[in-house]
Chain A
Amino acid sequence: MTIADLRPPTLSLAASLSDVTVRYGDRAVLGPFSLAIPADGAIALVGPSGCGKSTALRLLAGLETPTTGRVVRAAGRGDTAVVFQAPTLAPWSTALENAALPLRLAGIGRTEANARASDALARVGLTGSAHLKPAQLSGGMAMRVSLARALATSPSLLLLDEPFAALDEITRRRLADDVMTVWTGPRPAMVFVTHSVEEAVYMADRVVVMSPGPGHTVQDTHIDAPFPRPPQFRTSGLFRDAVEAVSAALEAAMARHVPMSDPGDAGL
Chain B
Amino acid sequence: MIKTLKQIAPPLILAALLLALWESTCRLGHLPVYLLPAPSAVGLALATDAPSLFASAWVTLSTALAALILAALIAVPLALLAALSPMIERAVQPIAVTLQVTPIVAVAPLVVIWAGLEHPERATTALAALAAFFPLFSGALTGLKSADPDLERLFDLYGAKPFQRLWRLRLPAATPFALEGLKVGVGLSVIGAVVAEISAGSGGSQGLAWRIMQTSQQLRTAETFASLASLAILAVVLHALTRFLEVQILRNWRGR
- Interface residue? B254 (CB, 8 A): yes
- Interface residue? A130 (CB, 8 A): no
A84, A90, A106, A136, most chain B CB atoms within 10 A: A90
Interface residues of chain B, those whose CB is within 8 Å of chain A, are 148, 150-151, 153-160, 164, 168-169, 172-173, 175, 253-256
Q: How far is the CA of A17 from the CA of B145 in the complex (A)?
A: 33
* Contact of A105 with B158 at beta-carbon distance under 8 Å, contacts A84-B150, A88-B151, A90-B172 already known: yes
- Interface residue? A28 (CB, 8 A): no
Residue ID in chain A nearest B165 by CB atoms: A105
Query: Are B150's CB and A78's CB within 8 A?
Result: no
The 8 Å CB contact of A133, one of B151, B155, B169, B256, is B256
Q: How far is the CA of A22 from the CA of B232 in the complex (A)?
A: 61
Chain A 85-113 interface residues, beta-carbon cutoff 8 Å to B: 86, 88, 90-94, 101-102, 104-106
How extensive is the interface on chain A, given as a class? 20 to 34
Q: How far is the CA of A137 from the CA of B160 in the complex (A)?
A: 26
For the complex of A and B, 10 pairs with smallest distance between CB atoms: A133-B255, A88-B150, A105-B158, A92-B172, A77-B159, A102-B158, A135-B254, A84-B150, A105-B160, A92-B253
Query: Are B255's CB and A106's CB within 8 A?
Result: no
Closest CB of chain B to A258's CB: distance in Å? Answer: 33
Given A63-B153, A63-B156, A102-B158, output 19 extra A-B contacts at Cβ < 8 Å.
A61-B157, A77-B159, A78-B158, A78-B159, A84-B150, A88-B150, A90-B172, A91-B254, A92-B172, A93-B172, A102-B154, A105-B155, A105-B160, A105-B164, A105-B168, A106-B159, A133-B255, A134-B255, A135-B255
The 8 Å CB contact of A106, one of B150, B154, B158, is B158
- Interface residue? A82 (CB, 8 A): yes
0 or 1 for each of A46-90: is its CB under 8 Å from B? (1 = yes): 000000000000000111000000000000011011101010101
* Contact of A133 with B254 at beta-carbon distance under 8 Å, contacts A78-B158, A86-B150, A88-B151 already known: yes
Query: What residues of B have a CB within 8 angstroms of the CB of A225 in the complex?
Result: none
Closest CB of chain B to A77's CB: distance in Å? Answer: 5
